[in-house]
Amino acid sequence: MSVGLEGMKGHKVLVESNVRVEKDQFVIVGLPDASIKESKERILSCIHTLGLDITMKKITIHLSPSDKRKTGTGYDCAMLLAVLCDILKDPPPIDDTTCVLASLSLDGKLVPFHGLIPSIQQAIHLGFKRIILPAVDLSFLEKRPDIELVTIDDITQLIGYLKGQLSLELPSERQLIFSQSMNEDTAVQTTDFSSIRGHADAKRVLEIAAAGGHHVLFNGPPGCGKSMLADAFHTILPNMSNDEMLEIFSIYHLAKENRGFSTRPPYRFPHHSASAISLIGGGTYPKPGEISLAHHGVLFLDELGEFSRKALDMLRQPLETGEITISRVKQSVTYPASFILISATNPCPCGYFGSNERYCTCTPNQVRAYQLKASGPLIDRIDFILSLKSVGITENEQVESSADIQKRTENARLLQRQRYSTSQLNGNVPVQQLLATCGMTEQQAEYLKEICFKEKWSNRTQVKLIRIARTISDLVHSEKLLDSALEEACNWKKTASFHQTQAMVRK
């Protein structure tokens, strides 16, 4: 048995072999790709290394299920074992609870392959009790008493182990045979909140967003601090759990991007010239895009109005569901994409529409086209919309450091994990679960109904207000939904609606 990957999701692969007396031939069937077809030479070389004679033998290997495309070199060792079970007089016993995940060198060494880490995770998820692996360091994986991870050096040692003739005394340290940069911490150099003067409203919004996983849009003229606030936002996010860290590492591994075993959430900031495919993911054999690389972290889209409308509209599904499904002719895969969107935009191409500092040189049609780049349905999925103005650097005020704010967001997320029993946050938990656990009273529900009717807010906006109010309550460690939290959430929505109305009036 082995494991195949479709995106981040794994499925069981049964490796069968048939060896019969016939003209020399080696065939692999079951929709293998080019790298698997080349496994033929590696397997034949290993058989020769073991000193076995396969003259006048036709070897047929079948990878089942035959309707799923198989990619990569991770099936090498499983295919070799299937052949050995057919040609050895005393074959090694292997049951269905044992999974083999390893590539082969020409001299019979078990070596790692691209996608090894996510394959191990999926093998555990699929219920295998024993997983045979190359000699790699597995200290980063959480130890489970019901699962045996066996690291083997070569095929001779593997045969002896399976026959019970070899008791493996695994060394305490083994090298991780990926790139050296995989072991490096990839912390992003960002701005500390203590260095930002003014913008009290923006800081409050970012704290709520970090605590509950809400999306934010900053609007303002050039130089008012939009990018600086977005850079500082990463520093107030809590550290990830070990499972989340491994999930992120697996995504980066599949995308062939370097990332160390860091517990800091990822921070992605693609340029506005990025294509829709680079944002969402894709290709002939789909790879993760920027939104998946930002999973459990931050996706910062600076100059939102400069992105293509097609690329921005593709963000709707992942913002709603927390995952992205990429369908191509040869393959359809699903990648996780639960991220916090921080976006920043100028009000017009020149940046000074509605500003008191400089005169706007854009025509009304240019302003309208620029502001319509982000469609109504996309804007409706953003929780906070805030207009910023320039602040003097000499402004005096008491400022908090990122570490102080991070403690509050970490405590708020801890309450959410206890409430939902998952890693989901107020911003992305299913609506039914949110309403069942938010603790809203009948009086609060009536208040929300009245204000939404008066302001003509949609059903999605009503749910959004409950999500934000629940996060504000969590920041002060309240199990109940506070009246003040609900009022603050409504005030943020009124502020966003006011700025949008003012922009329409100026147009």
- Give the model's pLDDT for residue 258: 84
- For residue 84, pLDDT over 90 is answered with yes
- Give the model's pLDDT for residue 394: 55
- Give the model's pLDDT for residue 505: 43
**Band of pLDDT at residue 185, cut at 50, 70 and 90:** very low
- For residue 334, pLDDT over 50 is answered with yes
**Band of pLDDT at residue 61, cut at 50, 70 and 90:** very high
**Band of pLDDT at residue 186, cut at 50, 70 and 90:** very low
**Band of pLDDT at residue 143, cut at 50, 70 and 90:** confident
- Give the model's pLDDT for residue 471: 96
- For residue 57, pLDDT over 60 is answered with yes
- For residue 43, pLDDT over 60 is answered with yes
User: Each residue of 285-306: pLDDT tens digit?
Assistant: 788 999 999 999 999 999 888 8
- Give the model's pLDDT for residue 396: 58
- For residue 113, pLDDT over 70 is answered with yes
* Cβ-contact 236, 192 below 8 angstroms: no
Pick the more confident residue, 190 or 115: 115
Domains (range + CATH), the chain: 2-178 (3.30.230.10), 193-506 (3.40.50.300)
Give mean pLDDT, residues 385-404: 77
- Give the model's pLDDT for residue 329: 73
- For residue 201, pLDDT over 70 is answered with yes
**Band of pLDDT at residue 169, cut at 50, 70 and 90:** low
Q: How far apart are CA 493 and CA 65, in angstroms?
A: 52
Q: Is 225 left (phi over 0), alpha (psi -120 to 50) or beta?
A: left
Please, what is the average pLDDT of the chain?
A: 87
Residue 413: Cβ within 10 Å count: 21
Most confident range, picked from 172-176, 220-224, 263-267: 263-267
Kindly report the backbone phi and psi dihedral angles of residue 309, in degrees, each rounded to the nearest multiple of 5, phi listed first: -65, -35
- For residue 246, pLDDT over 70 is answered with yes
Give the tokens for residue 51. 């000193």
Q: How far apart are CA 15 and CA 186, in angstroms?
A: 38
Q: What angle do CA 440, 441, 446 make, to 5 degrees?
A: 100
- For residue 422, pLDDT over 50 is answered with yes
Which amino acid belongs to residue 99?
C
- Give the model's pLDDT for residue 301: 94
Cα–chain-centroid distance for residue 139?
22
Residue 220: Cβ within 10 Å count: 21
- For residue 149, pLDDT over 50 is answered with yes
Find out whether the peptide bond into 65 is cis, omega within 30 degrees of 0. Answer: yes
User: Each residue of 223-240: pLDDT tens digit?
Assistant: 888 899 999 999 999 999
- Give the model's pLDDT for residue 166: 67
DSSP 181: G
Pick the more confident residue, 152 or 180: 152
- For residue 400, pLDDT over 50 is answered with yes
Give mean pLDDT, residues 72-98: 93
User: Each residue of 262-284: pLDDT tens digit?
Assistant: 889 999 999 999 888 999 988 77
User: What percentage of the chain carries pLDDT values higher than 70?
Assistant: 91
